[in-house]
Structure 1
Amino acid sequence: MRLRKKPRAAGEIAAHPEYITITPAAFKGQWQEKFAKKQPLHVEIGSGKGRFIIEMAKAHPECNFIGLEIQSSVIIMILEKQLVTQLPNLYLVQANGNALTDYFAPNEVAQLYLNFSDPWPKNRHAKRRLTYPTFLKMYRQVLQPAGNLQFKTDNRGLFEYSLLSFNQFGTKFIELSLDLHQNKQRENIETEYEQRFSRLGHPIYWIKLQFK
C-alpha cells in the first residue's frame, strides 16, 4: 500500500532534534548522550507507525530504545506521538536500515528487533530481505557479544527462509515459536501489522537468537 506523502513531515522532523535525527552517522558510538540515562540500547529496524517501539519504551524504562524507519510519512506518526508522551528512553532515526554499521559502533547495541519486515517473495529480490547474510553480518557487528536479535513475521515463506539463513550464518536459537499468540506466558507487544494479521487468523512466527 502506497502511503500519502505528508508535506509537513520534513519541517516537523527538522524542528525536533531532541527526538529525531536524519543523520544517524553523526552519533555513532555516542547514542547514550541522546537519553536521560545510560542504559542498554535496543533498536527496532523498520518501526512503521510506532506502536511496538513506543509500548516497549513505556514497558521497559530500564532500557533505551531507538526506532529506525526510512519513510518520513510514517516516522512522522511516531514523532507526533512522542511529542505527546515525551518518553525519556525513546529516540527516532529516519534512515535506511541497510547501513547500520554506519550508524552504530561495534558492540553498541544490546538488542535488535525485526518486526514484519517486507518478505520480498521473489527469488531475485532475496538480497533485499532483512535476514539475508549481508544484513546478518551488520547485525552481528553492532550487537554486543551477549546481545540478541528478535524476529517476528506472519509470512511463513520469509520465516522458513530466515531460519535457514540464520542457521547457515552461524547463530544460536534461544527461543522459537510457530504461533506466538498461543504462548500466554511471555510478554508480547504487538505491532499494528501484527494486530491486523492476528485478527485474520494468521499465526505469528517468532525467533530470538544470538550470533556465535
Structure 2
Amino acid sequence: MNFLERLNVYFYHSDREKKWTEDPARILGWSSEQTQFARFSVFEKSLNLRDKSILDLGCGYGDLVHFLRVKQPIKHYTGIDFHKSFIKQAKLNADNSMRFLHGNFAQMRLPVHDITIASGSLNYRSNNKNYLPTVIRAGFSASREAFGFNLLDSDYFREDRLLQAYDPKEVLSICRNLTDDVEIIRDYMEEDFTIIMKPS
C-alpha cells in the first residue's frame, strides 16, 4: 500500500472512532462484534494455539489475543498496527505476555513467532498487484508453525473504494508457491474465506 492508500485507511478509522465511540468492533471496520468473533473462531478451531507465541498483523485493540486466551493459553503475543490510537488503547489492557508495536507490518522486518495471524487487515485496497503476495510471503516467513489470514471473497463481496476482494483460487495459487500444506476454509461466512499455511 502506498502513502495515500494508508492515509485513506487512517481517515476511515479516525471517522469511525468519532462516530462509534462505544463500539470498538465498528471502529475497527467490522460490521459487528459477532462477525469479528466469527472470523477469530476459525483460527481458534483450526490452529493449535496452546502455549504458542502469536504474531497479529493489524491487531487493532488486541481483541484477537483476548478472544483466544479464553479458549487456549497463549505463551506470548505481539500485535502490530499503524494506527497509533489503536496501539495506545491496546496497551492499556495488556499484561506482561503481550507486546504492542506501532508500525506498518507490510514494511517491517517481522519478528518470528510460532503462529502469525492477519484477520481483516489484508482487505484494504492497494493498486500494487504485488502487495498481497509480498505480505503473504512475509507473514509465512515469520511463522514457525502456521500463518493464517482471512480475505473477502470476490464471488460474494462487492468491492468499494476502501476494501478489496479476492478470488480464492488465485490466493491459493500464491500460497502453494510457498508451501504444499495449504488449507482453505469457507463454511463460516459467505463473503469471507480463511487460509491456513504450514511449512511442508
User: What is the TM-score normalised by the length of structure 2?
Assistant: 0.60
Runs of 5+ in structure 2 lacking a partner?
A: 1-11, 18-50, 155-164
Task: Give runs of ≥4 in structure 1 deviating > 3 Å.
Answer: 154-157
Return the match for 2:198 from 186, 189, 210: 210
* Deviation per residue, 1:153-195 (Å, 9 max, x gap): 334332524222112x2323453211225xxxxxxxxxxxxxx
Query: Are 1:97 and 2:85 matched, yes or no?
Result: no
Structural mapping, 1:73-88, within 5 Å: 73-82=85-94, 86=95, 88=96
Aligned partner of 2:9 in structure 1 is none
Shift of 1:125: 2.5
Query: Does the residue aligned with 2:59 lie in a helix, a strand or coil?
Result: coil
Structure 1: unaligned runs, 5 residues or longer: 7-38, 182-201
Q: Which residue of 2 aligns with 1:16?
A: none
Deviations 1:65-113 (A, max 9, x none): 111111102222322333xxx3x42221111112443x42xxx311010
1:75 and 1:159, CA in 2 relative to 1: closer, same or farther beyond 3 A? Answer: farther
SS at match of 2:183: strand
Q: Which amino acid aligns with 2:55?
A: V
Cα distance, 1:98–1:118 mapped onto 2, change above 3 Å:
closer
CA RMSD of aligned residues (A): 2.8
Name 2:118's counterpart in structure 1. Answer: 114
Task: Indicate the residue corresponding to 2:53 in structure 1.
Answer: 41
Partner of 1:149: 147
The 1:58/1:93 distance shift into structure 2, 3 A limit, reads: farther
**Higher CA-based Rg:** 1
Partner in structure 2 of residue 162 of structure 1: 171
Higher relative contact order (CA closer than 8 Å, sequence separation 6+): 1
SS in 2 for 1:76: helix
**Count of paired positions:** 145
Asked if the contact 2:172/2:182 (under 8 Å) is kept, the reply is no
User: Which residue matches 1:175?
Assistant: 183
Change (3 A) 1:100 1:40: farther
Shift of residue 4 of structure 1?
5.3
> Given the superposition, is the C-alpha separation of residues 100 and 56 from structure 1 closer, same or farther in structure 2, using an over 3 Å criterion?
farther
